[in-house]
Amino acid sequence: MSELERKPRSVNPQKRRTLLQWLILAVFSTASALIFAQFGPIWRDQFAKNVTDNYVAPEGFWGLLPLVGGGVLLGWFAATLLLRIVEKLGIRWDRTDDSEKLTWFFGTVIGFLVATFFINFLSAIRLPLVALIASVIGIGFLFTAVSVYALHTMKESLPWYRGKVRARRTGLKILDTNVIIDGRVYDVARVGFVEGQIYVPQFVLEELQYIADSHDALRRQRGRRGLDILKLMQAEFNIEVGVHDRLAPEQGDGVDSRLVRLATALGGDLVTNDHNLNRVATLQDVRVLNINDLALSLRPNVLPQEHLELNIVREGNQLGQGVGYLEDGTMVIVENGRNHIGETLEVMVTQVIQTERGKLIFAEVEGEPVDGRARKPRR
């Protein structure tokens, strides 16, 4: 992405917690504090009496404060650990093929249905309640593993595996900031050339908002244009925003690197018009759809000796030159066109040069001298 759109601020590698995560942390900490306040004195007194005979139990607020504080810390630690485990499981679940999810679902149902048949047997041998519950859960997990393995061996016969090949998710189109500001992606999508689900990462949306709030008038105008384009696309297409960002957490490596990591994790296609991002993503085996490449491929071919209707709008860099543009924006340099600025006339193509940014066409007005001398025919 060009420096014009880049945010001049550092990226905090620490992820912001959501409201639900804060709520879980608060519930765990409060519950742990209440448990320690209720049972902590009993555990403390019993432990202290085993260590010394002269133990005197503290009473009142100062006796409970260390126990409640320890409970809060323990609850916070347990909730943090649980959230990390759930997040990793969520990432793995998102990367799992739908057919594989169905296999695990049916395997779990079968496993725990089989485990329920053991309840009467385990109850008959009069196991304690805790041991009974633990045994049923253990048997359930055991038969779940057996069921999933059995289902995997029958993939060819299972209806949800037929005709499917386990592969990365395809069809997801991830938009970067520049291509949204550019706006042509909306027209391309509207005529049906962008297939599949369109996805806009939350950090791309935040960057657009940052540019739209800039003090620089040009940056502000570009940012607001990007937001307007995004609003138009949301009105016509089913766009996902930010739901998969956890697959590429913020690591302080910039928006471009995070986009590449996200596209790799999702197996999606990166839609951009940024040349540098295109190269980086291609080197990391990410499929890139470059709007500029699409525009170049759709430009009509122009051959030497072909005649064009052209409006010459300004003079060129060299003596006697005039410059005009085709409808697709291709520049045409007319060798003897300076005297025809503001006129629309027929010119003949003499040379076509392909550059990294597109085609450069040279032409001349037939029958007129070039640089004060007769034009020699090109070989």
Task: Give the pLDDT means over successive 10-residue stretches in the chain (379 positions).
Answer: 42 57 84 78 66 60 72 85 82 73 85 81 74 80 85 72 51 90 89 85 92 90 92 87 81 86 88 91 90 79 88 90 86 90 91 78 83 45
Per-residue pLDDT at 197:
86
Structural domain boundaries, residue 314? 301-365
Co-location of 91 and 196 in the same domain: no
Whether 192 and 282 map to the same domain: the answer is yes
Q: Are residues 29 and 145 in the same domain?
A: yes
User: pLDDT value at position 12?
Assistant: 40
Question: 297, 331, 354: which is the final residue of a domain?
Answer: 297
Write the burial class of residue 99 (CB in 10 Å: 0-12 exposed, 13-18 middle, 19+ buried). middle
Task: Look at residue 285 in the predicted model and tell me its pLDDT.
Answer: 86
Q: In the prediction, which pLDDT does 44 show?
A: 67
pLDDT of residue 52: 62
Report pLDDT for 8.
39
Asked whether residue 7 is assigned to any structural domain, the reply reads no
Domain stops at, among 161, 184, 202: 161
Give me the pLDDT at residue 379, please.
38
Distance between CA atoms of residues 334 and 316, nearest Å: 8
339/348 Cα distance (integer angstroms): 16
Count of the separate structural domains present in the chain: 3
Which are the contacts of 253, defined by CB distance < 8 A and separation ≥ 6? 11
- The candidate with the shortest Cα–Cα distance to 366, out of 325, 327, 310, 319, is 310
Say which CATH number the domain at 257 has: 3.40.50.1010
Residues 265 and 332 in one domain: no
Strand order across the 173-175 sheet: 239-241, 198-200, 173-175, 269-272, 288-290
Judge if 259 and 325 occupy the same domain: no
280/311 same-domain check: no
